[in-house]
Structures are given as structure tokens and as C-alpha cells.
Structure 1
């Protein structure tokens, strides 16, 4: 009897080992599974205070982490966590209403993505109404708009266009969630048209993106917004959408370059192409997410990119401290044409710029 049980145990272990080898994104050591890590970070977020702009209104990094925690909760069917995340939002309709961001900037308008994601869960019309206001005002030109803003609008783009690579997450996430909620193709077309223009204007020949046209440095988190925005948008797009081939071209070009710049440790550095710079966690998590989604959707060669994504995920885990704060996160960073400036940027444990993409990765690794 013992011999049969032992042989069965060995057989099961062998199958698990083969499964890990066949699909590196399906099996992880205890303590580093996406379910365990996601739970740690999501629970930590639920209990945290709002991250605010100068004490005034919700910061986009908090929205990103909130969206990630919701994605994780949905993947694990954690009803308690879903309810906690919903309860955390409810005061925005009453005594925390003053914390709602104004509808006049890409970083502020993306708040609508959270309301729309929650609406898809609870079907509460208040969430839909609020979220769509943020999506619609991104294209509704205000009376006091500047000439440059009106010029973008006249070309069919958002008046909030500024040609910062961050925008290709900030704009596409709220327009994408509006499309999911309404089924109205105008939201998808807006996001796609904007993405194509940003790719045409900003992507470098090597597939990466400068922090700004006048700042020739490949800052990891800046590039990370593009790396996440493209696959998230393409997941919503029908195969025959006219803008899809151009976005896919830009995505594949970027992924190839990122694969080449991944450090032996599995991480990416604060400046992607600077091997002597420090490993930065928010950018690494964003790039890992882009690899994971690409493999799952069949856009990236699994034999090549799945091991790279696994290596990144396992390298990321030790940067989570005992308080469930991700460490080595570059703080919010404006552009500056000075390489040393990027090396010297402070690192803020628990900064939601990093907590968020860790949650995105955990949710993505739990399957489509």
C-alpha cells in the first residue's frame, strides 16, 4: 500500500514538473504564486489611505492599484475583497465627493476607469454615470481650452493630448472601460486612433520610447505605460479593426527590444539600456505584464517569452518587504535631460506606482 502511494506521489510530482516546464507561467514555488502575492498586496491596498494629489483629490497611481486589486479579486472570486474594494469607493458619492479629480487632464480623467470597472460588477447606475462623465469629457472641449488643445480636438484626438507616453495608459484605460460598459465603438476608436498617433510620433527605431522627445532616455516606468496600454487595448479590439495591425506592429517591436534589455537577474533597470543603473520594480512589473498577456493571447512566442516573464516575476517577489510594500520603486518623475537625474531619483517603498503593476501581474498570471 505504501509503495503504491509513494509511486503515485512521484507520478504527481513528475506531472507538476513537466507542467512547469511546458508552461512556465502556470507553476510557481510556494510563497511566490500569483494567488499568494496578489492576496498580500490587495489586502494591503484595501487597508491603506487614499493617495492624493497635494491632499486634494485621488491620485492616478491609487486608481491603478485599485483596478489591479479588483482584477485580482475577480480572478480569485474573492467576494469579500470585492465588497471591501466597493465599500472603499462608496464614500466618493457622499462625504468624500470633494476628492473626485477634476475632468481636465489625462491623469485625472483616468479615474473614470475605476467607476466603470466597479459598475461592471455591481450594475449600480451611479458608477456608470460617473465613469462615463470622465470618459466623455476627455473629448468634450471646454470653453476655456487653449489653442493647442483645440487643434488636437479638430484632428479628432482628445483635447488632453500632450504626447507623453504615460497617456497611452491614462487615455486608453478610461476609454476602454467605457467601451466595455456601453458597447459603443466610438470609445474604442478614440483610444485606437490616439494610440496609433502616439506610436507614429514617439516610438524609436529600436522599439522603445524616450521619456520625452527632448529627453533621450529610456526611463523604465515611462516605457511601462506603453507596454501595458498596447496589449490591454488590443485585447478589446476585434481582429478586423483597421488600427489593430499598426498597434500590433508597435507592440511586437517593443517586446523584442525589452527582451533584449532584460537583465540576467530577470529585472529591468531604471534606465532600460543602462546596465549599471539600479533594478527598478514598477517598470519591471509592467514589462512582465506585457509579456504575460502577449503569451496568453498568442501574440508572443511562448517558448521565448514565457520563461522571460517567469524569470521577471520570480525576481520581483524578493522586493516585497515584510509589510507588503514593494521596494525600489522610482517616485513620480518628470522629464529632465540629465542622465544622473534618473540615477538619483528617490525610491519609495509601497509607492502605488509599483504596487499597481505587481497586482496586474498577479491577476494576469491567474489566467485569461
Structure 2
């Protein structure tokens, strides 16, 4: 009798945790990650390229591709995996001119895509294509500017700009390089870079300025930071010297985001401005960060699970029957003008929004 009671008592915390996380496992028809993922990922197969400067595969397309691959891998959808790999093949033959050059933070992140393909296919041609994009983020070119050389001399990437967008662009390719090589230099330098951005851009309320000279809490910009910290923390060794600082920054941000979530479940284009409009790409990035945090036990499931669920349920209605996400802020440069952020055009089907929806799908599907 006593043994049975003891067993029940020991199981209670575990059962409570499972119950708290159940808010992220059961969804009504039309809201399941399987349905949403299939709709958005299959849309990408025949989608046109979204080129950077009209020349090279852009970062939004790269991340849409990565998200589709992740969904296909998690659901063991061989048809989708084959289609996505076939879509890539011209970049190795007839369309090599579309491969991004390695001279900008928004271009080097392309390496995350072939490194992702390598993990799925084990074909070394993808490793050989992807790894130089990670390496050259720390290899200073001869024609670099003095400020770029100065960052490099301090041990940071010469592509450092102190724009919040950068901490997904740098983190994603360095983390992927670490995953395929197990060389700690990649994860270490990404973590050190992340701490620099935390120190320079995160405010006491947990949110981030777009840049040191742009004191506004832009939604997707903060989303890049949230997703970058999440991606990095997933693979950063427990004994890494920067882990506790990054975890502090992540948890401080999540607490603030919980407080700024709108009654409808979304987050606004300017997070702290109630009269700003609900924006989907940033909301999806925050939701991805929270789902992952709950599942990784970085966040209290009872407190944050319902927040993430509310966001997901609010996000899904923005997807049309063809898998296009609406209310996506267009590509945005920094500008010290608050009205500029209010007035940014909103697109439908913009890859900036398609990709983070798939990150949420993957986070919900992962155990």
C-alpha cells in the first residue's frame, strides 16, 4: 500500500508536466501542425525564387526552403523531400549564378540550406557547398572596411552590424556548421556574438532596439533575435561559458513578450504600441521561441504553454486555402523614424512570413 502511494506521488510531477504541455499537442481540425505544415510547405515546391538584389537566392527564400525540409523530414514525407531536393539541383548546374556570394550577413546565411540538405541526404556535395558560407563569416576579406576589421580583431564576425536581424543570420549558419562537423569553434563564436548583441541591444524590459541608433521595438526584428537565441540554446553545450547569459536574455525576453501579447493572441508590428497592427512573421517567431522553450523546459509550461497556444490559434486564420500567410511586414531596413514602421506595407505570401510559420509547425511536431 505504502509503495503504491509512493509511486503515485513520484509520478505526479511528471504527469502534471505532461498535462501542462498538452496545450501544445491537441488542436482542432484545421489547426493541427500536420495540416498547416503540409499546406505551407507544398506551396513552396512551385514557388518562384525571391532574389536578393535581383541576383541571388535571398534569406527569406532560404529559410522557407529550410522550414519545408524540416517539415518533410519530421513527417517522413518522401515525396516532399524529393521535390525540395530536386528544386535545389539547378543551383548546382545551370543556375549556379544564383548562389549568393559570401560578403554580407544576409547572404552568408544561405549556407544553412545546403548544410541542412547534407544532414538529410548525407551527400557530401551539400557539405562542401555549405561550409564555406560559415567559414567566411569569420574570414576577413582584403577589401573590408576599417570597422569590419575592428570587429574581427576583437574576435567577432567581420559582418557584425549590430542590427537585430543579424543574430539569426549568423546563428543559423554557424549552428548548422557545428551540427555537421561537431567543431565547437562554430557554436562558440556564434554564442560570443550573441552575447555582444544582447549587451548592445537588449533593453531592461527584455525587448530589443532595431539597432543602437534606432530605439524602436520592431516586431520581426525582435523575432529574429528570439529565434536566434532559441536555435543557439538548442545546441549550445550545457558547460559553454556563454550559455547562462544567453538563457538569461532569452527568458527575460519571453517574460516581456508574454506581457505584450495582444488580447487576440498576436504581437504588433511595434510590440509596445497598442495602436500598431498585428504582424504575422514576428508573431510566428515569438511563438516558435515559446513552444521550444516549453518543450525544452526553459520556460514554465503552465505559464507559457497557454500563451504559445493562444498565439498559434490566432496565427492560423491568417493562412489562406493556398497556404499563403497574410499581414506580413515587407523587408525592412533600419530607420530612426517610428512612423516608418507603422507605414511599412503588408504582403501576402511573403517568404518572411511563410518560413516562421513552418518553424512553429516543426516545434509543435518535435517531441
TM-score, normalised to structure 1, is 0.93
Which residue in the other structure is 1:167 paired with? 166
Alignment of 1:173-322 (within 5 A): 173-322=172-321
Query: Whole-Å Cα distance in 2 between the matches of residues 44 and 332 of structure 1?
Result: 21
Contact 1:20 1:26 in 2 (8 A): no
Deviation digits for residues 241-285 of structure 1, max 9, x if unmatched?
111000000000000000000001000011000111110000000
Question: Can you give the 5+ residue segments of structure 1 that lack an aligned partner in the other structure?
Answer: 1-18
Contact 1:326 1:355 in 2 (8 A): yes
Which residue in the other structure is 1:365 paired with? 364
Which residue in the other structure is 2:83 paired with? 84
3-state SS of 1:35 partner: helix
Cα deviation, residue 47, structure 1:
1.6
Question: Can you give the 5+ residue segments of structure 2 that lack an aligned partner in the other structure?
Answer: 1-17
Query: Whole-Å Cα distance in 1 between the matches of residues 253 and 359 of structure 2?
Result: 19
Contact 2:280 2:327 in 1 (8 A): yes
Which residue in the other structure is 1:323 paired with? 322
Query: Whole-Å Cα distance in 1 between the matches of residues 21 and 231 of structure 2?
Result: 25
Query: Whole-Å Cα distance in 2 between the matches of residues 193 and 333 of structure 1?
Result: 26
Cα deviation, residue 322, structure 1:
2.5
Cα deviation, residue 367, structure 1:
1.7
Deviation digits for residues 184-243 of structure 1, max 9, x if unmatched?
111011101100111111111111001121221100000000100001101101111111
Deviation digits for residues 76-104 of structure 1, max 9, x if unmatched?
11111111111111111111100001100
Query: Whole-Å Cα distance in 1 between the matches of residues 128 and 281 of structure 2?
Result: 32
Contact 2:20 2:305 in 1 (8 A): no
Contact 2:106 2:169 in 1 (8 A): yes
Q: 1:46 to 1:215 in 2, by over 3 A?
A: same
Query: Whole-Å Cα distance in 1 between the matches of residues 124 and 27 of structure 2?
Result: 40
TM-score, normalised to structure 2, is 0.94
Which residue in the other structure is 2:152 paired with? 153
3-state SS of 2:329 partner: coil
Query: Whole-Å Cα distance in 1 between the matches of residues 351 and 207 of structure 2?
Result: 24
Cα deviation, residue 55, structure 1:
2.2
Query: Whole-Å Cα distance in 2 between the matches of residues 54 and 217 of structure 1?
Result: 26
Query: Whole-Å Cα distance in 1 between the matches of residues 155 and 21 of structure 2?
Result: 46
Cα deviation, residue 20, structure 1:
7.5
Query: What RMSD in Å do the two structures reach over aligned CA positions?
Result: 1.1
